[in-house]
């Protein structure tokens, strides 16, 4: 029997941009929207907390939670008893909207109406589904830990069987995605420029303090290099 021919075609790379949809095109300030993967990934990778929105019993629910990104997939986790994670296990999954936002500056204008903030945000629409493959679940949980502090997953005890049984992981493919960014100063009306009020931007930045060892940390365990890198 002749062996089947082996394809030498390289894997198709993901397009550089996400395709805009009716849900990802802003109705206001559409010029601030971005759909390139590099921008979206950078915003996601820099944040720690996302907000997971879904409908429960006919009413909207929004929950803050940690997440981790692996390529074009966002992973979230929680208790196996939580309503959204149970719903994601049913066919066809749980319709969700996930958002991430950075505040980069307070924009103070001459008028109250034109006050704003400088920000970077990402909005993801899609169907969240429960991860059942054990290898993918473990990889996702490592990604969640490393998203908080890169390198930490390899420097901590992995989840045991009991902990895995109590933890559910859901995945959301990055397909219907958009970023929105505001930069710059206030947009004052020309008639207000002569008013005697201060205007400008107050930058907002995230900083890290020195690591504080746990009270019961065994003597001789030094602060890891990956924490110093923060």
User: Distance (Å, rounded) from C-alpha 156 to C-alpha 226?
Assistant: 13
For the chain, what percent of residues have pLDDT higher than 90? 77
The CATH classification of domain 30-186, taken from the options 2.30.110.10, 3.40.50.800, 2.10.109.10, 2.60.40.3500: 2.30.110.10
SS percent in the chain: helix, strand, coil, step 5: 20, 35, 45
Hey, what are 219's tokens? 């003597």
| Diameter over CA atoms, the chain | 88
CA angle 48, 50, 52 (to 5 degrees): 155
Averaged pLDDT, 128-141: 93
Q: If you average pLDDT over residues 115-135, what whole number do you get? A: 95
Q: Does 207 have pLDDT greater than 80? A: yes
Look at the block and give the residue holding tokens 């929680």.
78
Q: How far apart are CA 28 and CA 84, in angstroms?
A: 30
Name the band, by pLDDT with cuts 50, 70 and 90, for residue 61.
very high
């Amino acid at each position: 029997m002749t062996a089947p021919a082996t394809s030498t075609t390289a894997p198709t790379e993901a397009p550089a941009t996400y395709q805009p949809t009716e849900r990802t095109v802003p109705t206001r300030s559409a010029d601030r929207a971005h759909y390139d993967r590099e921008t979206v990934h950078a915003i996601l990778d820099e944040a720690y907390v996302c907000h997971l929105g879904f409908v429960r019993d006919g009413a909207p629910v929004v929950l803050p939670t940690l997440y981790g990104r692996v390529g074009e997939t966002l992973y979230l986790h929680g208790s196996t008893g939580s309503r959204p994670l149970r719903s994601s296990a049913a066919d066809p999954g749980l319709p969700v909207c996930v958002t991430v936002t950075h505040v980069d500056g307070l924009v103070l204008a001459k008028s109250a109406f034109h006050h704003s903030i400088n920000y970077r945000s990402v909005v993801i629409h899609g169907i969240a589904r429960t991860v059942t493959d054990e290898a993918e679940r473990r990889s996702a949980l490592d990604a969640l830990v490393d998203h908080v502090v890169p390198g930490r997953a390899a420097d901590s005890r992995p989840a045991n069987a009991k902990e895995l049984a109590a933890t559910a992981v859901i995945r959301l493919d990055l397909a219907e995605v958009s970023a929105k960014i505001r930069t710059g100063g206030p947009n004052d009306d020309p008639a207000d420029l002569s008013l005697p009020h201060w205007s400008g931007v107050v930058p907002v930045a995230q900083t890290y303090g020195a690591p504080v060892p746990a009270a019961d940390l065994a003597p001789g365990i030094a602060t890891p290099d990956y924490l110093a890198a923060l």
